[in-house]
Amino acid sequence: MTIEEVKASIRNIADFPIPGIQFKDLTTAFRAPESLRWMYNEMVAHYKDMGITKIVGIESRGFILAPGVAVGIGAGFVPIRKPGKLPADTISVSYAKEYGTDTIEIHRDALCADDVVVIHDDLLATGGTMAAAIELVRKAGVKKIYISFLVELDGLKGREVFPKDVEVYSLIHFD
């Protein structure tokens, strides 16, 4: 499987969910066994010897590969969820969206000071969601943070909003 074949397995939906957005539909890549395995193998190969203790997935598309990769590298899985979904005591961060604000939450006891964490989401657009997730994980308190995406939309320059000491890893790039 080549990276170009994996890229071709991602379906583009024009004007979804609103006019002007080119939506990258990864469900077509996930349903193709070779594409799914390629994404899994790439992530495991990249993170396996980095001392990662937890992969933190962002609801909801960050939940698709994160738990599998966590098993593959011998790490745990921790969810970041939308408000009101996590049952125990939480920490939260609110951030500005194009229209209004959004809030994300993590369990207060999910991470500890010795954790080396990968925060994972399916796609990097403006970077607003991941920047908030980094702030949330920093609030929780960990030793080191890495961030990972399956797809990065280079033209939106989302990676520029992240703190400079956080390594960004994206498998597939679109203009």
- Return residues touching ligand AMP (CB under 6 A): 21-24, 61, 121-129, 158
Q: Which of 25, 120, 105 is nearest to 64 (CA)?
A: 120
Sign of CA dihedral 97, 83, 132, 49: negative
Q: Residue 49: is it exposed, middle or buried by C-beta count within 10 angstroms (0-12/13-18/19+)?
A: exposed
Taking the complex as a whole, how short is the minimal distance between the CB of residue 49 and ligand AMP, in angstroms?
Answer: 28
Residues annotated as catalytic are: 61, 98
Amino acid at site 144: K
Which CB atom, from 53 or from 129, has the smaller least distance to ligand AMP?
A: 129
Name which of 105 and 122 has its Cβ closer to ligand AMP.
122
Maximum pairwise Cα distance, the chain = 44
Task: Compute the least distance from the CB of residue 92 to ligand AMP, in Å.
Answer: 17
Closer by beta carbon to ligand AMP, 116 or else 125: 125
Name the helix (H) or strand (E) containing 103: strand 101-107
**Least distance (Å) between residue 45 CB and ligand AMP:** 23
